[in-house]
Amino acid sequence: MTDNKKEKFPKVQGGGSLILAWQIKNKTVLVVGGGEVAVGRILNLLDADAKVVVVCPSSGLSAEVRHRIDHNQVTYLDRAFEPSDLETLPPSNGPPDMVLTAVDDPAASTQIWKLCKQHRIPANIADVPPECDFYFGSVHRDGPLQIMVSTNGKGPRLAASIRKFIGKQLPPGVGDAIERIGELRAKLRKVAPDPEEGPKRMRWMIKVSDAYTWDDMSTLSDEDMDNILTFYRPNNVPDLDVLKAMRGGKTPEDIDVFDGSFGFSVGA
């Protein structure tokens, strides 16, 4: 390749983490410890619909973890960690898919870390970055919207400040808008279920997302979404005014909307 034809590619910036949305719904996660450090970990796991197993002597439980146990939100084992916990755990009687340690015992935590490596189970050892397969970031949550800020273990407090700043910049209702778009996508898959429709579905959903503001999307009713879907086959998206005019069972013909090569318009 000659110099004048060299392509420009992104510069590699080492030292980062691979930021992922880890799907752990219905997967078993072992939390070793039940004190204050475990509190946030357990809540994050429950928010992600994981099956949480807490191993900790009752004397070490915080009030919030006791609450989770009393309300059957977690499976509780009133004892210290045992190596066999990495092989079989209730209620599945299988090995955990993930392990989090939150105990004030560095030697014990390191031993658990080494055992997890032997069993190839991803683990997070609280406050010991070198012994973590993954980190917890500071997360902004608004319904289905999650924004994580990570400093790769270098400045958790600063990450929380940055997360709060980002959250304040977002308009109200953005979570509701995402929820409605997600429901529309699910409805579209029922209208056009064939795998061959995949590329068209994707392109049409992009057009829908670009056509309305976040405020518009957050106020879409079930009727509105059903009406939007009628425009999928001709591969068009109605203006918001047209969509509002269709409420109450009206069709495009009722409001003098025509389907032409230049799109849709409302007659005077």
The model's pLDDT over 24-65, given as tens digits with 9 standing for 90+, comes to 999 999 999 999 999 999 999 999 999 999 999 999 999 999
84-140 pLDDT per residue, tens: 999 999 988 999 999 999 999 999 999 999 999 999 999 999 888 889 998 888 899
Catalytic residue status for 127:
yes
- Judged by DSSP in three states, 29 sits in strand
pLDDT by residue (tens digit) across 215-243? 999 999 999 999 999 999 999 999 999 99
Task: Give tens-digit pLDDT for 203-216.
Answer: 999 999 999 998 99
**Selected catalytic residue, list 97, 105, 127, 216:** 127
| Higher pLDDT among residues 96 and 150, named by residue | 96
pLDDT of 15 reads: 86
Does the structure show a pLDDT above 50 at 251?
A: yes
Question: pLDDT of 161-219, one tens digit each?
Answer: 999 999 999 988 899 999 999 999 999 999 999 999 999 999 999 999 999 998 999 99
pLDDT of res. 2 = 52
pTM of the model: 0.78
DSSP output for 47-101: HTT-EEEEE--GGG--HHHHHHHHTTSSEEE-S---GGGGT-BTTTTB--SEEEE
Largest CA distance in the chain: 78
Q: List, in order of start, the domains of the chain with CATH numbers.
A: 28-136 (3.40.50.720), 137-170 (3.30.160), 174-266 (1.10.3280)
The separation between the first and the last C-alpha atoms of the chain, rounded to the nearest angstrom, is: 59
C-alpha distances out from residue 64 to 17, 84, 146, Å: 31, 27, 23
